[in-house]
Amino acid sequence: MNAKQTKLVKEVRELAVKQYDQGGHWIVECYDDEEIVKQFSSVKEAQEMWETKEEYEQEMYSATRF
C-alpha cells in the first residue's frame, strides 16, 4: 500500500469509529484495509456508502416490525 492509500484507510477508519452508531460500524466490522482501498476513492465516498446502507437497514428493520 502506498502513502496515499494508507492515509485513506486511516481517515476512513477514524471517521467510521467516530460515527460507529450512525453506520460506521459497517466499515469497522466488515472491511479490511485492502477492501477500503479497492472500494473507495475518498472518505466522503465511504461515508456515503455507510450512511446509505444504514438507512436501508433501518428501513428494512422498520418494515419487518409491522
The domain of 55 spans 3-64
Residue 37 · residue 11 · CB < 8 Å: no
- Reported as type and span, the H/E element at residue 10 is helix 3-18
Q: How many folded domains does the chain comprise?
A: 1
pLDDT at residue 66 greater than cutoff 70? no
pLDDT at residue 11 greater than cutoff 90? yes
At position 38, the amino acid (one-letter code) is: K
Q: Note the pTM of the prediction, 2 decimals.
A: 0.85
Residue-averaged pLDDT of the chain: 93
